[in-house]
Structure 1
Amino acid sequence: MGRRLPTGIDVLDRKLEGGLPAGSVVALTAAPASQSELLLYEFAAPRGTLYLTTERSAEAVRDAFDRTVVPTGTPEIEELMDETPLDRATALSETLAEGSTLILDPVDPLECQNSARYRRFLNGLRARLVDTGSIAVLHCLTGHAPPDGRDLTEHMADVVFELDTRVSGESVENRLAVPKFRGGRALPETIKLELTERVRIDTSRDIA
């Protein structure tokens, strides 16, 4: 996995020495009440993207893309809201084009499926990513009760991004950690982000 693909977030790409290794499965963990969707929108910008939505309608996702100021490109959006989401996710992942991005938002409903079938899906997805030189981003919500399959997702993922959002008084602080990075170097420190209408690095200094 020598070739790197940019994430679309300049500061993150610099920290990751150019981006993510082609063929990587990325787990982005974040609280439901966070601006983590901004990261997904920017991940869609550098190349063709297949966006699989498991909870919002395709129309709602398209509207969110249209309203954001982030340059997102024009992702293909498909819904996974039938009774067999793993089957549909598998079929759609097999259509992934060369050198593209797949976003699964959120992956939680798939993590609730039979663990053996979900494991087969993740292994098949990674094989497709390697074959096409692509990456996949699995949006993992860290609510009060994460699905039983969350440990499997983080174990199988090549890269784990952890977005921590904390509200203190009148301030909201976002920090991004990269504790796991196969084919590269995990970051020893968190990145302080400003998540408003787009993703920026927060240059304000912490007060001890």
Structure 2
Amino acid sequence: MSRRLPTGIDVLDRRLDGGIPAGSVVTLSASPASQSELLLYELTVSRETLYLTTERSSEAVLDALERTNAPTGSPEIRHVAGEAPLDGINRLLGTLPQESTLLIDPVDALERRELGRYRRFLNGLQTAMVNTESVAVLHCLSGRSPPAGRDLTEYMADVVFSLDTRVSGESIENRLAVPKFRGGRALSETIKLELGDRVRIDTSRDIA
């Protein structure tokens, strides 16, 4: 079994036999209206983290990290935008420390680029993760109009996390699925999460 890097989220690490294989590219697919950002913030705990934001300013991300009650690390936050975001990220990949975490939030802006260039970027990202024994997490917004490159993102990814958030009356239910896991085993059941001030297991019972 490949060496695992802990995510920093205890509930995930227990279910994933210790964490994510070093060198992996992971996607986290979630609704834009969900609390998926809590998962991202807690992923900064375990290791040095480079947090690349493509939509919000770096100041907005830093403010959100400082206001959250979830445990966080002290990530380096960089805003990557403009006409050539892929070039900007490629330059930053060369500065990534060994055994670190790279977060791209969200990856949608990159998925809208020409597919050939985006494919080359994903291949280069995979190589960078393997060479540095790191983990990359690509935050994918599962909105009404997913970008053209979404299928390519999920195909190239080693691990796929899918967060399903459902609102029913006065209740909100969050279930995390792991349908794809290269270098390990995909989960046969979803994980019911409570996403309030931090990431916890939802211990409420399902009522048929």
Tell whether the structures are fold-level matches, with TM greater than 0.5: yes
Mapping 1:40-119, distance limit 5 Å: 40-119=40-119
Separation (CA, whole Å) in 1 of partners of 2:179 and 2:43: 19
Tell me the SS of whatever aligns to 1:127.
Answer: helix
Tell me the SS of whatever aligns to 1:59.
Answer: helix
Find the counterpart in structure 2 of residue 163 from structure 1. 163
Separation (CA, whole Å) in 2 of partners of 1:94 and 1:194: 37
Residue 194 (structure 2) pairs with residue 194 (structure 1): yes
In structure 2, stretches of 5+ residues that fail to align are: none
- Alignment check: 8 A CA contact 2:103 2:137 kept: yes
Separation (CA, whole Å) in 2 of partners of 1:72 and 1:95: 22
For residues 9-39 of structure 1, give each alpha carbon's deviation from its aligned partner in whole angstroms, at most 9, with x where no partner exists.
1011010000000000000000000000000
In structure 1, stretches of 5+ residues that fail to align are: none
Q: Shift of residue 148 of structure 1?
A: 0.2
CA RMSD, aligned part only? 0.7
Tell me the SS of whatever aligns to 2:11.
Answer: helix
Tell me the SS of whatever aligns to 2:52.
Answer: strand
Mapping 1:128-207, distance limit 5 Å: 128-207=128-207
Tell me the SS of whatever aligns to 1:33.
Answer: coil
Q: Shift of residue 112 of structure 1?
A: 0.2
- Alignment check: 8 A CA contact 2:29 2:163 kept: yes
Q: How many residues align?
A: 208
For residues 135-163 of structure 1, give each alpha carbon's deviation from its aligned partner in whole angstroms, at most 9, with x where no partner exists.
00000000000000000000000000000
Separation (CA, whole Å) in 1 of partners of 2:56 and 2:96: 21
For residues 47-76 of structure 1, give each alpha carbon's deviation from its aligned partner in whole angstroms, at most 9, with x where no partner exists.
000000000000000001111112211100
Q: Shift of residue 122 of structure 1?
A: 0.6
Q: Shift of residue 94 of structure 1?
A: 1.9
Moved over 2 A (4+): none
Q: TM-score, normalised by structure 1?
A: 0.99
Separation (CA, whole Å) in 2 of partners of 1:65 and 1:147: 27
For residues 96-138 of structure 1, give each alpha carbon's deviation from its aligned partner in whole angstroms, at most 9, with x where no partner exists.
1000000000000000001011111111111011011100000
Separation (CA, whole Å) in 1 of partners of 2:135 and 2:151: 20
Tell me the SS of whatever aligns to 2:8.
Answer: coil
Tell me the SS of whatever aligns to 1:29.
Answer: strand
- Alignment check: 8 A CA contact 2:71 2:198 kept: no
Find the counterpart in structure 2 of residue 10 from structure 1. 10
Separation (CA, whole Å) in 2 of partners of 1:94 and 1:30: 29
Find the counterpart in structure 1 of residue 125 from structure 2. 125
Q: Shift of residue 201 of structure 1?
A: 0.4
Tell me the SS of whatever aligns to 1:51.
Answer: strand
Q: Shift of residue 83 of structure 1?
A: 1.0
Q: Shift of residue 46 of structure 1?
A: 0.4
Find the counterpart in structure 2 of residue 25 from structure 1. 25
Which amino acid is 2:150 matched to?
Answer: R
Q: Shift of residue 90 of structure 1?
A: 1.0
